[in-house]
Amino acid sequence: MSLMSEEADPSEQRAAARVAAANTQVNFQAGFQAGRVTFNRLELHRILNLYGRMVADGEWRDYAIDFLKDRAVFSVYRRASEVPIYRIEKDPRLARKQGMYSVISATGLILRRGHELERVLLVIDRKLALV
């Protein structure tokens, strides 16, 4: 009897593994990776829409996405062999201060920082103005 109580039922082991896998999948889909900051789906959609327009205009040609421990970085290149023209960064440590989103130029100058990605990207997004 004591031998049976020490052993776990195989169906219980499979159920626990299934629950753990489901939790991992939910966390991954939500953009949470262990110890990393990521862009969520809406943020990435907005950034890639801007990127697509600039590629269509012939201004940008390549990009890179880095998910680091403390921030997520979307880098934009004119050519793949150069330094990035712009870096769009998400740093959650600054969420209650200046804002977690920032656009940084190739020289390291912070062009705009804020709490809303849409407003921060306006510094890059050149829309036609009717005069």
Tell me the CA distances in angstroms from 98 to 21, 30, 34, 91, 120, one per residue in order: 37, 25, 25, 10, 12
pLDDT at position 25 over 50? no
Is the pTM higher than 0.75? The answer reads: no
- In tens, the pLDDT along 55-112 reads 888 888 888 998 888 889 999 998 777 788 999 999 888 888 888 899 999 888 999 9
42 SS3 class: helix
As a whole number of Å, the CA-based R_g of the chain is 22
Cβ neighbours for 117, distance < 8 A, ≥ 6 positions apart = 43, 46, 47, 90, 101
Banded model confidence at residue 33, pLDDT cuts 50, 70, 90: low
**Domain assignments of the chain as residue spans, ordered by start:** 41-123
Neighbours of 40 (CB within 10 A): 13
75 SS3 class: strand
